[in-house]
């Protein structure tokens, strides 16, 4: 027979793998944060624990070009499903069209993509509503300021952003900025990306403190790793994190919740990285031709001093 030639309706055209097994190629965007390494571990563990799954894993070190070549590799190897956690929102049309042309379904993990007709280029997305997370942060801050009798004061916010152009950054920023618009006495006086890493979070916070020092009342930091770095920077200039500067963070790592207990972080909006099982289940369903949801949302809450005890220890 001639492989791949003249598909006349016979089944199992993809190498006879109609046996409930699936090979998944996963392009992880990097290892920039504790959230990310927990996500990677969740995917790897879920694959290991599932005898129907073979996982091929690739770490792109926060570079889109590495993700694009990883996806091309997976296409060449003829995997059954490609999973990708896209580092930024734009620029995926070409490579995902290549996957589509090769009849390989794509699952987006964690972050989302934008662009012309991109909805046709993936089967399912599994992640969190990042905009909603930003809204939660702003709402928490409103309530907290009210409780503290500070809701009429001028509030100057320093905003540490995640990787520029990632859906996590875009969504969280949108949510926060809506809150700023709704509160006439709030102002974002510093705003810069710390790329979701602890080291850059510290560096950028140092710069914020240098230029706006005593004016900063609130730090909103788009992930816990940057927050940890920022706390260090704040302490190094002799200020008290959590008191001199109210701190709101994202993710909900065990380390961050410990900082809530210690009074250095005031609130953390949860973002759950443990999507491994959902990804495997979705991949197997897609492989066997079952319908899957276009969007699968991971549930999440918010942590502060009122509920931190009952939520520790965290699984990541
Ligand atoms: O918040 C951050 C990570 O995309 C939700 O990426 C994810 C974010 C997460 O580096 O820690």
Mean pLDDT of the chain: 94
63 closest CA partner among 82, 91, 37, 42 = 91
Global pTM value: 0.93
CA 254 vs. chain centroid, Å, equals 17
- Is residue 18 very low, low, confident or very high in pLDDT (cuts 50, 70, 90)? low
Six token digits for residue 63: 């570079």
CA of 21 to the centre of ligand 1 (A): 30
Q: Which atom of ligand 1 is nearest to the CA of 34?
A: 11
Q: Is the CB of 203 under 6 A from ligand 1?
A: no
**Contacts with 287 (C-beta within 8 Å, 6 or more apart), sequence order:** 20, 22, 80, 81
pLDDT at 13 over 90: no
First to last CA, the chain: 51
The best mutation among 250, 251, 253, 269 to test binding of ligand 1, ranked by most ligand atoms within 8 Å of the C-beta, falls on 251
172 closest CA partner among 132, 139, 140 = 132
Beta bridge partners of 126: 109, 296
> What is the layout of strands, in order, in the sheet containing 81-84?
53-59, 22-28, 81-84, 106-109, 124-127, 295-297
- pLDDT tens per residue across span 39-75: 999 999 999 999 999 999 999 999 999 999 999 999 9
Q: Which atom of ligand 1 is nearest to the CA of 273?
A: 5
CA 196 vs. chain centroid, Å, equals 10
CA of 35 to the centre of ligand 1 (A): 6
Pairwise CA distance, residues 36 & 41, whole Å:
9
- Can you tell me the mean pLDDT for 223-244? 98
Other CB atoms within 10 A of residue 145 CB: 20
- Is residue 11 very low, low, confident or very high in pLDDT (cuts 50, 70, 90)? very low
Q: Is the CB of 112 under 6 A from ligand 1?
A: no
- pLDDT tens per residue across span 248-266: 999 999 999 999 999 999 9
């Amino acid at each position: 027979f001639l492989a791949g030639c003249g598909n006349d309706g016979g089944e199992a055209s993809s190498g006879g793998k109609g046996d409930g097994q699936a090979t998944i190629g996963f392009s992880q965007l990097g290892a920039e944060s504790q959230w990310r390494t927990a996500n990677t571990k969740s995917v790897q563990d879920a694959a290991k624990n599932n005898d129907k799954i073979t996982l091929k894993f690739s770490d792109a070190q926060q570079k889109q070009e590495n993700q694009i070549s990883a996806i091309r590799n997976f296409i060449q190897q003829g995997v059954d499903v490609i999973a990708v956690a896209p580092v930024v929102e734009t620029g995926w049309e070409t490579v995902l069209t290549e996957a589509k042309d090769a009849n390989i379904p794509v699952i987006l993990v964690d972050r989302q993509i934008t662009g012309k007709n991109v909805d046709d280029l993936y089967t399912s997305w599994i992640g969190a509503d990042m905009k909603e997370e930003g809204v939660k942060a702003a709402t928490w801050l409103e309530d907290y300021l009210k409780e503290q009798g500070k809701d009429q004061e001028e509030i100057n916010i320093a905003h540490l952003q995640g990787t520029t152009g990632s859906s996590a950054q875009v969504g969280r920023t949108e949510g926060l900025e809506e809150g700023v618009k709704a509160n006439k006495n709030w102002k974002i006086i510093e705003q810069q990306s710390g790329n979701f890493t602890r080291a850059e979070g510290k560096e950028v916070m140092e710069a914020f403190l240098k230029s706006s020092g005593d004016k900063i009342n609130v730090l909103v930091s788009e992930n816990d790793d940057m927050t940890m770095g920022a706390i260090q920077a704040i302490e190094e200039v002799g200020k008290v994190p959590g008191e001199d500067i109210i701190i709101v963070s994202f993710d909900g790592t065990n380390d961050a919740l410990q900082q809530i207990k210690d009074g250095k972080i005031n609130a953390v909006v949860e973002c759950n990285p443990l999507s491994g099982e959902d990804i495997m289940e979705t991949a197997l369903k897609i492989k066997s031709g079952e319908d899957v949801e276009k969007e699968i949302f991971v549930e999440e809450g918010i942590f502060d001093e009122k509920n931190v005890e009952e939520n520790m220890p965290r699984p990541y």
